[in-house]
Chains A and B, each alone.
Chain A
Amino acid sequence: MRFYEYESKQLFAKRGIPLPKGSQVARTAHEAQRIASDIGGAVVLKSQVLSGGRMKAGGVLFADDEEEAESAARLILDLEINGQRPRGVLVESRQPVAQEYYLGITWDGIAKRPVMIFSDMGGIDIEEVAEKYPEHVAKRHFSNLLPFSDHKAKELIAAVGVQGSDLNRLTRIAAPLAHLFQEYGLTLAEINPIARLEDGSFVALDGHVDMEAEVRGEHRALLEELGIGEDETRQARPPTSFELAGKRINDVDHRGVAGNVTEFDGTLGLIIGAGGGSLTLFDAVRNHGGHPANYCEIGGNPSVSKVCELTKLILAKPGVEKIAVMMNVVSNTRVDLVARGVIKGVLESGEDPGERIAIFRIPGSWETDGFKILDKYGVEYCDRAVSMYEAAGRAVAKMQSA
């Protein structure tokens, strides 16, 4: 779940990360004028949208006094960027910058640990810096369980040649950012750029924070403090009617999970899940040249009716030719109950399970009963002797030969 820049900065302020003077969000041009007046002198006004490319789109403007600030705010508040209306306009002091740095923390899925990245070339795309000037980028992994040590941050920053008081001041930004990352279940905490001002002080000029959606409940107090409502999903795009229908199916029945239903424009419907199985299987289908019609995550032993409703939803999606029902080896979820659900869903859609189910690959708990059900309805299935990757390949091959 992505935070607006002003929310990210409120979070930074909780740990004492220095911000430009002012740094308040205005909802009206008049309010922006008042903030600019309080700051005094030149200000920068930034559109608060959850989208990149603000500068290019005209969503970042500069003003030398409060009157100019009001006019600039008016323009920004009326400006739609990538289909988004601004939540407000952030007004901050504009001061001369001597140098810009990059600092980011994200989750490294391969190392299964957070990784902190620092560069003395900030303000531009960090991937581009890493590619063109790798000697200007340093990375360090750290534990997400043990307390973060300031020494780790210092070592990282020093690795690109920063020394003396700059090193100490930057450490006092990097370490708190790591603490925030750990404390609030963040998946991304980025300051780009950190500016060293001409007076030698440092401020976070821009910030980007993403929180793991699953920890929202745990941090309700913080979200309330930031004014983030429970109904704000902060997804990259609004959910489609297909996705909303999927959510309803999951919400109305507490038994098990049929969640994260996401719409794609392919022809192969997917009922997938189990211990990371959804992502693996989705990728496997694509690697084999298949075109998924959807993504979803089933697990936790969903009820027959929940699987049935999900199956009906996917089959009713225009363009869906077949469905593939695939999971990793299950222990809690029961094979027979999922088999009942999908077959019932196909039958209630007025279709033949043997025709519409490309493959059923769920090995594990109660598979003997599950396979009897599939046998009865002529559905092709396989057990754990067939890998998830191979099962995905079989489903795609069946689509291509149809």
Chain B
Amino acid sequence: MAIFIRIDVDGALAADAGAARQLCEVCPVDIFSTPDGGALEIVDDNVDECTLCELCLQVGKPGQVSIVKLYDDDAVLQRT
């Protein structure tokens, strides 16, 4: 279970197959997956590997993906 980072993805974006594929492509530590090409899933085992590169924040509209630093008073990283 991730204890340092939480990734929040807007439901509409998660349901968008194109956006889901983009998230899988950009994340360097495989936090996102689309098993069998289906709905977007967060791979819990990989979430704490997040390098805070913020590439996932560029997918979709601003605010649809957030990175939450659980070790920093839940500070939120979002595209503005």
Residues of A at the B interface (CB closer than 8 Å) are 303-305, 334, 337, 340, 344, 347, 369, 372-373, 376
Q: Is the interface of A mostly helix, strand, loop or mixed?
A: helix
- Report chain A residues within 8 Å CB of B29: 303
A284 to B16, CA, bound (A): 56
- Knowing A369-B72, A372-B72, A376-B71, the reply to whether A337 touches B3 (Cβ < 8 A) is no
B6-31 CB mask vs A (1 if < 8 Å, else 0) is: 00000000000000000000000100
Nearest residue (CB) in A for B45 is A305
Q: How many residue pairs between the two chains, A and B, have CB atoms under 8 Å in the bound complex?
A: 26
Q: Does B44 contact A (CB under 8 A)?
A: no
Q: Is the interface of B mostly helix, strand, loop or mixed?
A: loop
Contact residues in A for B72 (Cβ distance below 8 Å): 369, 372
Contact B4 A305 (CB under 8 A): no
Q: Which A residues are CB-close (under 8 A) to B41? A: none
Tell me if B49 and A373 are in contact (CB < 8 A).
Answer: no
Query: In the complex, A376→B52 CA distance in Å?
Result: 19
Interface residues on B, range: 10 to 19
In the A-B complex, the 4 residue pairs with the closest CB atoms: A373-B71, A376-B71, A340-B4, A304-B49
Task: Tell me how far the C-beta of B2 lies from the nearest C-beta in chain A, rounded to whole angstroms.
Answer: 9
Closest to B29 in A: A303
- Residues on A with C-beta less than 8 A from B49 are 303-305, 337
User: Which residues from 10 to 65 on chain B have a C-beta closer than 8 Å to any C-beta of chain A?
Assistant: 29, 45, 48-49, 51-52
Task: List 6 A-B residue pairs with CB atoms under 8 Å apart, sorted by A's residue number.
Answer: A303-B49, A337-B51, A344-B3, A344-B4, A369-B71, A373-B4
Q: CB distance A304 to B48 under 8 Å? A: yes
**Cβ–Cβ contact B3 & A347, under 8 A:** yes
Q: Which of chain B's residues have a CB closer than 8 A to the CB of A344?
A: 3-4, 48
Q: Shortest beta-carbon distance, B54 to chain A, in Å?
A: 13
The answer on a CB contact under 8 Å between B48 and A340 is yes
Once the chains bind, are A372 and B71 in contact (CB under 8 Å)? yes
Write out the residue numbers on chain B whose beta carbons fall within 8 Å of the beta carbon of A305: 45, 48-49
Contacts of B51 in A (CB 8 A): 334, 337
Shortest CB distance B76–A (Å): 14
- A376 to B69 Cα, complex, angstroms: 12
Other than the given A303-B49, A337-B49, A344-B4, 4 more pairs (CB < 8 A) read A303-B29, A304-B49, A344-B3, A344-B48
CA distance A197 to B72 in the complex (A): 77
Q: Which residues of B contact A304 (CB under 8 A)?
A: 48-49
